[in-house]
Amino acid sequence: MCSLLIFGTSLSQTPPLIFETSFPSFEKAEGIYLPQGSVNGKTYWVGPKPNATHALWYDNKNYKRWMVGEFKDTNLLYNFPNDALGFDVDGEIPVGSSYYHTVSIAAPRLFYSSFTFTESMDDDGSISGKITINHNKYDKKTFGGTDGDDFIKKGYAQIDNLPSNLEASIIRISDSTLELSLLNKASYHDDDTSFILTFTDDAYGNGGKADSTFYNTQKIEIEFIKIISVSKNGGDYDSIQTALNKADEHDVIKIAEGTYTESIVVAETLTNIVIIGEGPGRTIIQADTIPFIANSGVLNLHPVYKNKTSAYVEGVTIQNGVISVSSAADDNRGAGIKAWTLVMKNCRVLNNAVTSDNFQISGGGISAENLEIYDCEISGNRVESQSPSLPASGGGIFVTSIIAKNCTISGNYCSGDGGGLYKSYNRDKKSSLINTTIYNNESGAKAGGLNVINNLECINSIIYGNKSGENSDIYQNNSEEPMYVWNSIIGDVKGY
């Protein structure tokens, strides 16, 4: 039997676990799993109570994920492979190719929305955002006090090593939710630091105790930014690529007015990126001076799939990138900009293209898993495949989830599906188009304007005047999760 060590908490016995799923065929496996023992020194749990029909273990070698399988006394070694060793709680476990389950400790515990505060982009020592702390209310345990209480002032929590002049506040929102914020401005804010948060017994109600609540003590990081200026005349650097090469996590790249002709790829180690220009009419980033002749994209902020980059881009035009895919090793999407999680404000993405004769391609202007765009124009972008049998999608944008507000998506083309926007499958995040216009786009197959798989709402928007091979503005691929429309002008809709 192994021991579980968590910062500030130690249990002498392996704890029971809770297995939860949103996948119907695995619902019979939901419930509490008790530690059963080990095989070849590798821990496993059996559940759900009371029937104990399944085994649960953690594969720490190949897949780095929780595994669950039907438990049979005579066949445990078959269900419990030799590469499963150790365990880690609160992981997410893909089953098959697209569905996720969660595993957590079956005990009172705290969940933190983040373990990091970041300095505001004013670079003045003030801290932006809040951290939400949730109690799982296991065994009816809760937070103590009353709504509105400040746990710091009440003495229910203490902070150690907080930077000088910052003040912590922890406000009770409900018996299961607290909000932690940092007030004032740090006197010294050049180097990253951290502090320790610890709750006392008084923080808990219904008999809860500090020493039996997981993550009762937690280390919280503070990342102080620095501003790096890019200018043709007197900045820290005269190229965006050089500035990003010198940047650390959460540093802000401020780009002066001018036209910057370069193809930018961030370092694999940089996963949080902030780029701010002086406005889309003044700060222009381009791969070439002429549309559709470049041999590279403009902004690749997600060069390695396993590194899930988060980027914020404001006040720039991104234009004239071209990605020509000629081998399986080539990048195949996002000639304008590519990121994992991307927020764009007051930007234009113009005249970018992804092309190929023999490979799947997508996202002529933008490619992202999670995209938020505000007050943006996405126009003149293209995805062109010479092979009808290979998918081409999202002439303007290819995403898994999107929030678009006050945006225009027009004049884009895709030889396949989704001339303007292709929204792929996402079970967990609702996508929204708000005050957004999708018009005058074209596709060679389905959906001149919008191809949507699932989980999308359209509010006060226009999707009209687009052309496609099958004469539709919108193609909906999933009849079980339809698109919801409020107060919008919608053209031809086809699909399931």
The structure's pTM equals: 0.75
pLDDT the model gives residue 48: 85
Distance separating alpha carbons of residues 411 and 101, to the nearest angstrom? 41
pLDDT the model gives residue 95: 43
Distance separating alpha carbons of residues 223 and 239, to the nearest angstrom? 25
Distance separating alpha carbons of residues 91 and 190, to the nearest angstrom? 34
194/51: higher pLDDT:
194
Measured from the Cβ of residue 202, the count of other Cβ atoms closer than 10 Å reads: 14
pLDDT the model gives residue 12: 38
pLDDT the model gives residue 107: 85
Measured from the Cβ of residue 167, the count of other Cβ atoms closer than 10 Å reads: 11
Tell me the H-state helices in 146-265. Answer: 151-154, 240-246
Query: What are the beta bridge partners of residue 286?
Result: 261, 319
- The helix/strand/coil state of 454 is coil
Mean pLDDT of 285-295: 97
- 33-37, 129-133, 295-299, 490-494: the lowest-pLDDT one: 33-37
Distance separating alpha carbons of residues 68 and 277, to the nearest angstrom? 49
Query: Over the stretch 55-107, which tens digit does the pLDDT of each residue have?
Result: 777 766 666 667 777 765 444 444 444 444 444 444 444 443 334 577 777 88
By the 10 Å C-beta count (0-12 exposed, 13-18 middle, 19+ buried), 386 is classed as exposed
Residues 6+ apart with CB under 8 A from 92: 65, 100, 101, 102
Query: Over the stretch 259-288, which tens digit does the pLDDT of each residue have?
Result: 999 999 998 888 889 999 999 999 999 999
Closest CA relative to residue 478, chosen from 429, 441, 423, 432: 423
- 66-70, 339-343, 458-462: the lowest-pLDDT one: 66-70
- The helix/strand/coil state of 27 is helix
What is the strand order of the sheet 413-414 is part of? Answer: 322-325, 353-356, 382-385, 413-414, 442-443
Give kind and range of the element (H or E) at residue 223.
Answer: strand 217-223
pLDDT the model gives residue 37: 74
427/207: higher pLDDT:
207
Q: Is the pLDDT of residue 210 over 60?
A: yes
Distance separating alpha carbons of residues 105 and 112, to the nearest angstrom? 15
Mean pLDDT of 133-149: 95
Distance separating alpha carbons of residues 141 and 208, to the nearest angstrom? 5
For the chain, helix, strand, coil in percent to 5 are 5, 45, 45
